[in-house]
Amino acid sequence: EAGVTQSPTHLIKTRGQQATLRCSPISGHTSVYWYQQALGLGLQFLLWYDEGEERNRGNFPPRFSGRQFPNYSSELNVNALELEDSALYLCASSLGGRQGVWTDTQYFGPGTRLTVL
């Protein structure tokens, strides 16, 4: 069974540009989560999507946004990139509301390394 996949593996942008990161969940999972792992800051929760809706958001500015598509894949967009946005962005998936599960184990993908120059 394929795990969570993320693309691209690496992304290099310059300050002020926009970045788009993509995530495909494990087959059968409907919830997708995004986390940022920045040096010195650890792993921080960004966003949770389930059934196409944003269910929760971490303490990040509005220029971090995303969406979930009908096939449950997800996209994270970061606008007006700043140097401190350089980090590993991890996507996770789990069973979700469609399966009647609102609390379940999150399985993580390999991440996208975003570098902002």
Separation CA 16–CA 80 (nearest Å): 4
List CB contacts of 104: < 8 A, sequence separation 6 or more: 31, 94, 95, 96
In the complex, what is the shortest distance from the CB of residue 56 to other proteins, in angstroms, rounded to a whole number? 5
Q: Within 60-89, which residues bind other proteins (CB under 8 A)?
A: none
Segment interacting with other proteins, rule: CB under 8 A, options 16-24, 35-43, 62-70, 74-82: 35-43
CA nearest neighbour of 48 among 30, 62, 63, 61: 30
Place of tokens 């494990």: 26
Contacts with other proteins by CB under 8 A: the residue count is: 27
Which of 109, 114, 115, 116 is close enough to bind other proteins by CB under 8 A? Answer: 109
Question: Structure tokens of 15?
Answer: 């300050």
Contacting positions for other proteins (CB under 8 A) = 4, 6, 31, 33, 35, 42-45, 48, 50, 55-56, 58, 90, 92, 102-111, 113
